[in-house]
Amino acid sequence: MALDGKVKVIPIDQPFLRVLAEYFADKFRNKLPDFSDILIVFPSERNKFYFRRYLLESINKGAVIPPPMFTIEELIDFIYEKIGGERALILQTIERNFILKKTIDDLKIEYWREIPFLKFIAIGNRLLNFYDELSQERVSIEDIEKKSVELHFSERYIKNELPILRKVYQRYRENLQKSGYRDKIDQIEKIYQNFDSKIFHGYEQVIIAGIAAATSFERFIIKNMLESLNAEMILHSGFPREIASADDVHKEFYLHYKLLHQLGVDIPKIEVIKNISVPRAIIHIKSLETITKQTFYLAEVVRNVLTKYPDAHRIGIVLTDEGLLFPVTEILNSYHIECNISAGLPFTNLIFYSFLKHLYEAVNSNFHCHEFFTFIQHPLIKNAIIENTELRPLVYALRKKMIQENQRYFLKTPKFEPQLMLEEMGNNFSPLINFLNKCFSTVEEKLPFDKYIANLIILLNELLSYNQDLINKNFPGIKEFFERLHNLSYLKIEEGAIPPGIGTLEFILKVLQDERYHIEGEPLRGIQLIGLLEARNLDFDCIILPSMNEGIFPKKSEKDIFINPGLRKAIGLITEEERNSLYYYYFLQLTRGKKEVFISYLTQEEMDIPSRFLMNHRAKEFREDSLPVVFLKNAMETKEREVKKDDEILKALFRRIKDGLSHTLLKCYKSCPYQFYLKYLLEITEPKEITETFDALTWGSLFHSLAKDLYQKHYPKGYSEEQRLEVVAKVNELLDQYLNSSKYVALPPKPEVYFDIFLYKRFLENFVNYEIKRFKEGYMIHPGFEESFLKDVIEVDGKMIPLIGFVDRIDTKDGLYYIIDYKTGSLPASKEYAIGEDFIEFQLPIYALMFAGKEPEKIGGLFYYNVGKKTEIKSICEKEAIADYLFQFQEKVLTPVINEMLDPEVPFYQTENGNFCIHCAYKTFCGRQRWRE
């Protein structure tokens, strides 16, 4: 039967749904107010919502009975049920994977046989999609085998790989039938064999609207409906002459040409609905270096277009990359710009998902400190109140205790078994410890899947009851999370198919990670943040398209591991070129019929290629903006912090220096007075962590302790070459003692610690050899001055200021004293101890002043003693210049710095030297935290 007159087109420059609503209202006005016998089929849910709205506007009536509407997926389900199919028997993809995995294990397919189920899912999904696609396109593996022989494909593929795919498919289908369930392939085959147009007898008219591309299966349904029903198909496309000439995959409307050609439509005779002239959109293109710059650029664009298009819901930001959702949402919120997130958010961002994820990681790591701390500091735990007891102080007390004891695992026995510290922690900690015990036992218990889920829900409900604020704020997604978790218990899973206990939780997290939930929002209110597929056929005044890069738009395709691209084309399966053609069509829909379009793409190294659609033959009409993005002050500029010294702050300052100014405090002030204020007056301490490996600070601390013990307890007068082996043995013995004490590195030590120890023993042996040479040259350790306390006072502006410090070592030779500071890392740069603006290294000169007093001639040298890969001593000034150096230090550095510190008119200001900020632990307090790309 000819389909002439049954296919119509709304030009792509026209707003599709709005024009469709006007067409519908005019055609069926005689049916007002009841359109219930007219069925409309759309590609997406969003189309249905907007069409209802536009229809009400077109008929200008307060209320009507709208036409029933299906998406393509809903249409297929409707047909399947009407011809006797049972949707309840159709398995979900995850359930199909269990049967597929069992099939592969039974067949002993070596490629996939030993893969754990959770890793197998990725391969299983791709294999099932491949089988589904063959069913949809009416292609069998035998067809692929025949074509492979015809085209002379490799013998290995024909004789080895294809037979395996066929064998797996056949056995999978057999196992599925034995189980009594069905899958998508069954649904497709049943519809192919039993389609009957009589199931639509309740509908006077059927309209299939807005289809962009169709599989062979969908074409089969469409063709039957058009031929046997009072039905029509309305496309959003080019004019008939444009479609008729689009016989090449690279042309704009190729997919519509292919669809109509295969349906047997006489394309030039297609009727055009509402052919009116519409001005071409003004299209702006902007290249940006980073995602951060693009985010701020998008906010500025939105602020600008809101002045042009006051109906905010007619402005759409199409999220070509879902990773843009949160930065864009946050920046719009920061500008107080209302937005509606229609794309939905992933479950992975829900607070209960993160709780279960951290719980899994804590248990799976044997309660390793990093994962354990992350878990107990989760907001649902630290904000919990159990029987009027707040868990927050208990959480931080437990964390502090483990750090102080350098306890690498949450445990109590010397064998480092992961047991809860019930007795050790005492009754004060019992609310926290008991709850943690419940969490761990719940997820470790080996139960049938449905009972495991039930216990997990009980635990989460209990946790929710401890967080009343969470209930009161009615956080979005919580209800959906519980519903989805509950629905998982109905999965059809054979006993033993997934690992018990913590393995079951891992499986649950794997299933939930791809789920999405919807938040409250108004489609007709606020800027619309919308996904690409949801944006199909929608009408906006202004569209914003960020991250228009190759690999994002069009999306990078995964390599087909089952069939060669050339073979795919030869047997009529969808090709990569056709997928790109579909993206091209979406691009046309998004950019045509709009008043203004803003496109941006990134030039950062890993994604520096703009989308091919920006480079096509219409690119000359786009307005490329090559000007750099300059952030507005209110967007990026942070106010420099400074704290004025009021009476209370001055009192706190004098209390702090009453016990003495050390070189550490002076260096901190000279580097950044604001950091000095935070660290020493507000006493905001740097976060402490459990040390698992020998970083530079740990090695330095250990060496200082070892050197002190070596000379105070064992060799106060030094040693000779004859004692070298004895001293080396003693050094190694001390090092081993430190390793097993947990003072420096957490127990049990990680394997790499032993490799570090091996290296450090070599460093120490070199140190002993170097020391022997020094002792032979006549240097001696000054009695009582290895790691000894020094104290003195200095007069500054009439005030007596105490100075304090622990000198690493003082040596003597020929009546002179040598001030020595051990360094186990890099040595300070010369400008840092040279008298001048860059001076920050107070240690050696301040020790010399305190030790020598008014007799600088007693000092023979100021040395840095480097102990590491290279053992050496570096002098910071010549012997003859020491007296002048110390005088200059006191007059030009020490006194001015203390004067400024005590001056009530000089605030605690931020440093201008950004180099000091790089490793500063207080960046987040002062606003100097750098943006991370």
| Average pLDDT of the segment spanning 727-745 | 87
Whole-number Å distance between alpha carbons of 587 and 614: 10
pLDDT at 1: 53
| Token pair of 142 as six digits | 């035998």
pLDDT at 856: 86
**Helix/strand/coil for 836:** coil
How many Cα atoms occupy the beta-carbon half-sphere of 307 within 13 Å?
4
Task: State how beta strands 389-390 and 385-386 pair.
Answer: antiparallel
| Average pLDDT of the segment spanning 360-373 | 92
| Token pair of 881 as six digits | 């210049």
Least confident of 183-187, 274-278, 455-459, 675-679: 274-278
| Average pLDDT of the segment spanning 305-311 | 92
Under the banding of pLDDT at 50, 70 and 90, the label for residue 111 is low
Dihedrals phi, psi of 176, to nearest 5 degrees: -65, -45
**Helix/strand/coil for 761:** helix
Place of tokens 């002043």: 849
CA pseudo-torsion sign 894, 898, 900, 901: positive
| Average pLDDT of the segment spanning 98-118 | 83
| Average pLDDT of the segment spanning 734-740 | 86
Rounded to the nearest 5 percent, the helix, strand and coil shares of the chain are 50, 15, 35
pLDDT at 512: 92
269 or 517, which is more confident: 269
714 or 930, which is more confident: 714
pLDDT in tens, 867-882: 988 899 999 998 889 9
Extended beta strands in 35-158, E state: 38-42, 69-71
pLDDT at 625: 59
| Res 854 pLDDT > 60 | yes
Residue 924 burial (CB < 10 Å; 0-12/13-18/19+)? exposed
Bridge partners (DSSP) of residue 597 are 283, 543
Under the banding of pLDDT at 50, 70 and 90, the label for residue 519 is low
CB 369 within 8 A of CB 408: yes
H helices of 853-930, in order, are: 882-889, 895-902, 923-926
| Token pair of 755 as six digits | 């490799």
Place of tokens 């750098």: 930
Bridge partners (DSSP) of residue 872 are 866
Whole-number Å distance between alpha carbons of 255 and 106: 42
Whole-number Å distance between alpha carbons of 845 and 886: 6
Under the banding of pLDDT at 50, 70 and 90, the label for residue 474 is low
327-to-294, 296, 661 alpha-carbon distances in Å: 10, 9, 45
Closest CA to 281 of 72, 543, 105, 90: 543
Under the banding of pLDDT at 50, 70 and 90, the label for residue 521 is low
Residue 182 burial (CB < 10 Å; 0-12/13-18/19+)? buried
CA angle 860, 866, 867 (to 5 degrees): 130
pLDDT in tens, 242-263: 999 999 999 999 999 999 999 9
Which DSSP category does 85 fall into? -
pLDDT at 692: 78
pLDDT at 466: 93
The residues, ordered by sequence, that sit 6+ positions from 566 with a Cβ below 8 Å of its Cβ are: 151
| Average pLDDT of the segment spanning 216-228 | 96
| Token pair of 913 as six digits | 């030297």
Cis peptide before 554 (omega within 30 of 0): yes
396-to-370, 406, 500, 503, 533 alpha-carbon distances in Å: 14, 15, 32, 29, 46
pLDDT in tens, 531-573: 888 899 999 999 999 999 999 999 887 777 888 888 999 999 9
**Helix/strand/coil for 62:** coil
The residues, ordered by sequence, that sit 6+ positions from 897 with a Cβ below 8 Å of its Cβ are: 666, 669, 670
CA angle 416, 421, 426 (to 5 degrees): 150
- Within 10 Å of residue 893's Cβ, how many Cβ atoms? 22
Residues above pLDDT 70, as percent of the chain? 92
Bridge partners (DSSP) of residue 794 are 801
Whole-number Å distance between alpha carbons of 14 and 746: 69
Whole-number Å distance between alpha carbons of 435 and 355: 14
pLDDT in tens, 176-207: 999 999 999 999 999 999 999 999 999 999 99
Whole-number Å distance between alpha carbons of 591 and 628: 24
Whole-number Å distance between alpha carbons of 878 and 900: 30
CB 518 within 8 A of CB 572: no
Whole-number Å distance between alpha carbons of 255 and 575: 12
| Res 931 pLDDT > 80 | no
Closest CA to 340 of 320, 353, 325: 325
| Token pair of 364 as six digits | 């799976």
pLDDT at 630: 46
| Res 933 pLDDT > 50 | no
pLDDT at 414: 40
Dihedrals phi, psi of 564, to nearest 5 degrees: -65, 140
| Res 695 pLDDT > 80 | no
**Helix/strand/coil for 603:** coil
Whole-number Å distance between alpha carbons of 417 and 367: 10
Whole-number Å distance between alpha carbons of 767 and 871: 6
Under the banding of pLDDT at 50, 70 and 90, the label for residue 312 is very high
Residue 627 burial (CB < 10 Å; 0-12/13-18/19+)? exposed
Dihedrals phi, psi of 307, to nearest 5 degrees: -75, -20
Instruction: Give the number of residues written for the chain.
Output: 933
Least confident of 471-480, 621-630, 735-744, 861-870: 621-630
Whole-number Å distance between alpha carbons of 527 and 539: 13
pLDDT at 628: 53
pLDDT at 515: 84
pLDDT at 415: 41
Least confident of 212-226, 586-600, 691-705: 691-705
What residue type is 314 in one-letter code? R
Under the banding of pLDDT at 50, 70 and 90, the label for residue 358 is very high
CB 538 within 8 A of CB 523: no
| Res 728 pLDDT > 60 | yes
Which DSSP category does 199 fall into? G
Q: Which helix (DSSP H) or strand (DSSP E) does residue 710 occupy?
A: none
pLDDT at 420: 44
Q: At what angle do helices 430-444 and 391-404 cross, to 10 degrees?
A: 80
Under the banding of pLDDT at 50, 70 and 90, the label for residue 578 is very high
| Res 784 pLDDT > 80 | no
Dihedrals phi, psi of 275, to nearest 5 degrees: -90, 90
577-to-554, 896, 931 alpha-carbon distances in Å: 11, 72, 38
Cis peptide before 33 (omega within 30 of 0): yes
DSSP conformation letters of 21-42: HHHHHHHTGGGTTB-TTEEEEE
CB 419 within 8 A of CB 412: yes
| Token pair of 578 as six digits | 């056709």
Q: Quote the distance between the C-alpha of residue 882 and its chain's center.
A: 55
| Res 622 pLDDT > 90 | no
What residue type is 204 in one-letter code? E
| Res 592 pLDDT > 50 | yes
pLDDT at 520: 55
CB 230 within 8 A of CB 263: no
What residue type is 891 in one-letter code? E
pLDDT at 322: 78
pLDDT at 927: 63
| Token pair of 564 as six digits | 């060669």
CB 639 within 8 A of CB 573: no
Under the banding of pLDDT at 50, 70 and 90, the label for residue 636 is very low
Average pLDDT, rounded, for the chain: 88
Q: Which helix (DSSP H) or strand (DSSP E) does residue 765 occupy?
A: helix 751-776
Widest CA span in the chain:
118
pLDDT at 745: 80
Residues above pLDDT 90, as percent of the chain? 60
pLDDT in tens, 657-689: 988 999 999 999 999 999 999 999 988 887 777
| Average pLDDT of the segment spanning 780-803 | 84
